[in-house]
Every structure is written in C-alpha cells, then in structure tokens.
Amino acid sequence: MSRPPGRKQEYHKISRELFVLTYGALVAQLCKDYEKDEDVNTCLDRMGYGIGVRLIDDFLARSSVKKCRSYSETADVIAQVAFKMYLGVTPSVSCSSAAGNEFSLILDKNPLVDFVEELPAERASLCYCNLLCGVIRGALEMVHLAAEVTFLQDRLKGDAVTEIGITFLRKAEDRKHKRN
Amino acid sequence: MAIFSVYVVNKAGGLIYQLDHYAPRADTEKTFSFPLDLVLRPHDERVVVAFGQRDGIRVGHAVLAINGAEVNGRFTADGKDVLEFLNNPANYPVSIRFGRHRLSSNEKLMLASMFHSLFAIGSQLSPEVGSSGIEMLETDTFKLHCFQTLTGIKFVVLADPRQAGIDSLLRKIYEIYSDFALKNPFYSLEMPIRCELFDQNLKLALEVAEKAGPFGPGS
C-alpha cells in the first residue's frame, strides 16, 4: 500500500467493500472473544486509540491545516477535513453546551455500517463503530487536547441519526518545555 | 549543493533518528619527523590541531590514527597518551592521520536535546504570544532548518546555505515519517526509528532535493 517515492502524492485506492468487510470481521471476532458488550466496546476504543495516535501525523502531513485556535475550530476540522479525507463523508457539527466544549458530529452516512441493518438482540449495547471514537480520542490527545468521545445516538440501535459526541476536557497540562 | 544531515527529535527532546548525508570527509595522512611543527592540544576527548595549518591539515582537525592504528580519544591504540607519545623523539618518524572528527552518537543525542531546549526558549523569548520556536539557524557554512509538527515532533535538516526548497523537504520528511515509521505496526511511538523503508525513502527524498539545486524542486 506504500506510495511510490518521488512521485506526486497519489492515493492508492483499495476496495471499500474490503475495508468494510475487514471492519465487520474485526467486530465479529471481538464479539466471539468477549461475552460482554462493554468489553467489546472498550477493546474497539483501545484499538481506535492506537490508530488515532498514528493517524494524526498522517492527517497533519497531508492536509496542512494550521493549528486550531478554538474547540469549535477543532470540531469543524475533524468533521470537514478529517472525516472527508478518510471516510469520504462530512458529518455536520453542532455545539451542544454553553461552555463551548461539547460538540456533536451527526453522520447521516456511515460507510462502516453499509452492510449492517441492526444489532442482534443479544448485542444490544454494542457500539459497532466505537473504533472511530478511539481514533478521534487518540488523535486529539497527540495534539494536546484531552477529550471524551462517545456515541450519543446510533442508527443501529434504532435512533434517528448517528451522533458522535466530543467533550473537550481541560487542556492537557503544559509541561516544562512549553510547546506553542 | 548539499544536505548535510537530518535529525528527528521526539516530544521529550530525545533524538530518534539521525542521518549523515555529506560526502566523505578528506582525511590527511602524513609522515612527520621530530619535532612536530603542528601545535596540538587536547580538546574534550580528542587531540586537535591548534596551530600550524598546512597541506590539508587544518586547525580543528583531530588526530584520527597514529601509524595506521586508530586512536581512542586521547590515547593511542595501545593505551599510551597521544601527546606524550608525540613528545618523545624515540617514536619518530611517525605517520599521523588528521581529519575532521565526526560526532559520536552520544554527542548527537546531547546536541539534539540541547537544541530541543533552545527551541523552547526561542518561542518563550518572543515578544509575540504564541510564536513558533527556532525555525532557522544560520552560520557561514551551513543553515539549520527546523520544523515542529503540531504533535511535537521536530524535523531538523542541516544544509548548505544556498540550498533552497528545504521547507518542502521538511514537509516531505514529515510525510515519509507518517508513512513508513508510524504506519509500521512494529514501531513504537517516540522510540528510535529503525525502519528500513524510512531510511530508503528519506535518502531518496534528499537526493531529489539536492538535484533540484539552489532553486528548489519544480524549477
């Protein structure tokens, strides 16, 4: 999958179906491995975190966005640039708190659930796309923004839309060598 | 036009990657008879030429080898102090190799963390709030360019002062890092980069930048 060096940036496309199937296989295997939904969710979140801490540099290298000066700018960049770049969809952003640190991304199209209608009865509290939450959390942490990311609504569970909530926590402690 | 070296420094100031790209330095080996017409003195852990520059042996060059055997800092291969050895007429005629001392990896580590601190000081000294750290350091023989990503990794490139296109080279190195280091699942973050693909692609990028010459790539 590596880019041939020296040539202008090209995205080497692979099949979307393969990606969606791979994700589905991952979740299915986790469901076999763990009985409780919470364990599967935690596992997905942790995996996503591992992806996020690496993906952020790829995102910054390719998109050359400038440093965000506010939480709302950050949420906009996540929705309009990052989601577009990696999943091809653009969720809409809304701020859901007066303090200005809680945002929700509303996805009307989620490629990961292309082939899933609804969750099986025994997996009612499974967050199928929890990997995405981990990715966002990991990526934000690497740019020194601590956040909690969860699914607020999920179409697979019968809600009207899929909504990801990002709550920015107090900014990560500035260490001795303050980085600006 | 040349790019001399590339350093990658992690968030904590530790050096995680280093590449020296410059042409092999010219060592000079000559046979001398007593008394030595060069003035030598100890400096750090080596013996350097303080005065008496001639024939390719320049001030600042270190004693690299005596009679073919490499010296070990201030001592010869068999443990004798170099300066004492060269003060003894019985050891002459002697063949000494001089050359520019290359930094050891420990020294590079130290210099990288020192630069990391200076970088932070640079941004604090700024009269403007939210300034970046040191982006360029210029001397008469080289220019040091530094690019810090939003995640805190610094890419430092030392190049010829006339070399252009270093900014785009730094961005390119960032891309190569995000591809071949970060996407390698066996590479742990913040650790020294030991990825073959990263090396290869970096060297290729350096060659492209060098070929582009003083006007940068795309000219």
* pLDDT tens sequence across B162-196: 988 899 999 999 999 999 999 999 999 999 999 99
A3: in domain: no
Whole-number Å distance between alpha carbons of A114 and A21 = 9
Q: What would be the CATH architecture of the domain defined by B3-23+104-211?
A: 2-Layer Sandwich (3.30)
pLDDT value, residue B216: 53
Sheet containing strand A147-153, edge to edge, reads: A92-95, A102-107, A162-168, A147-153
Range of the domain at A141: 16-168
For range B52-64, the mean pLDDT: 84
If one compares B116 and A172, the residue with the highest pLDDT of the two is B116
Whether the CB-CB separation of B151 and A56 falls below 8 Å is answered with yes
Res B142 pLDDT > 50: yes
Res B5 pLDDT > 80: yes
Residues of chain A positioned with their CB less than 8 A from the CB of B196: none
Q: Encoding tokens for residue B146?
A: 């530094």
Whole-number Å distance between alpha carbons of B180 and B52 = 48
A84: in domain: yes
Name residue B47's beta-bridge partners. Answer: B42
Contact B183 A54 (CB under 8 A): yes
Whole-number Å distance between alpha carbons of B4 and B24 = 11
Contact B130 A53 (CB under 8 A): no
Give how far A165 is from chain B: nearest CA, Å.
23
How do residues A67-123 score in pLDDT, each as one tens digit?
888 899 999 999 999 999 999 999 999 998 878 889 999 998 888 888 888 888 888
Which CATH number do you get for residue A133? Answer: 3.30.1380.20
Whether the CB-CB separation of B56 and B29 falls below 8 Å is answered with no
Contact B151 A56 (CB under 8 A): yes
Contact A58 B178 (CB under 8 A): yes
A6: in domain: no
Contact B175 A61 (CB under 8 A): yes
- State the first-to-last Cα distance of chain A, in angstroms, to the nearest integer: 34
Res B1 pLDDT > 70: no
Contact B130 A180 (CB under 8 A): yes
Whole-number Å distance between alpha carbons of A102 and A72 = 9
Residues of chain B positioned with their CB less than 8 A from the CB of A57: 149, 151, 153, 174, 177-178, 182
The distance of Cα B47 from the centroid of its chain, to the nearest Å, equals 19
pLDDT value, residue B64: 86
pLDDT value, residue B65: 86
- Mutate which: A51, A53, A57, A67, vs B, most B CBs within 10 A: A57
How do residues A16-27 score in pLDDT, each as one tens digit?
889 999 999 999
Name residue B146's beta-bridge partners. Answer: B156
How do residues A46-63 score in pLDDT, each as one tens digit?
999 999 999 999 999 999
Number of domains in chain A: 1
Contact B205 A180 (CB under 8 A): no
Q: Does A11 touch chain B (CB under 8 A)?
A: no
- The CA–CA distances, whole Å, from B213 to A107, B135, B165, B210 equal 48, 21, 8, 5
Q: Does A53 touch chain B (CB under 8 A)?
A: yes
Res A7 pLDDT > 80: no
Of B120, B180, B189, the CB nearest to A53: B189
* ipTM, 2 dp: 0.83
Residues of chain A positioned with their CB less than 8 A from the CB of B153: 57
- Angle, helices A130-142 vs A37-63, to 10°: value is 50
pLDDT band for B215, please (50, 70, 90 cuts): low
A26: in domain: yes
Res A8 pLDDT > 50: no
Q: Count CA atoms closer than 13 A to A1's CA, side-chain side.
A: 8
Q: Does B203 touch chain A (CB under 8 A)?
A: no
pLDDT band for A1, please (50, 70, 90 cuts): very low
Contact A54 B150 (CB under 8 A): no
Give how far A6 is from chain B: nearest CA, Å.
7
- Angle, helices A37-63 vs B166-176, to 10°: value is 160
How do residues B19-34 score in pLDDT, each as one tens digit?
998 766 778 888 888 8
Going from N- to C-terminal start, the domains of chain B cover 3-23+104-211, 27-99
E strand intervals along B33-82: 39-43, 46-51, 62-66, 69-70
A142: in domain: yes
CATH 3.40.30.10 applies to domain B27-99: no
Helix or strand (DSSP H, E) at A153? strand A147-153
Quickly tell me which residue has 């070399």 as its tokens.
B163
Chains A and B: how many Cβ contacts under 8 Å?
68
How do residues B84-125 score in pLDDT, each as one tens digit?
888 888 888 888 888 888 788 899 999 999 999 999 999 899
How do residues A149-158 score in pLDDT, each as one tens digit?
999 998 888 8
Res A172 pLDDT > 80: no
Closest C-alpha to B159, from B146, B176, B173, B174: B146
Res B219 pLDDT > 60: no
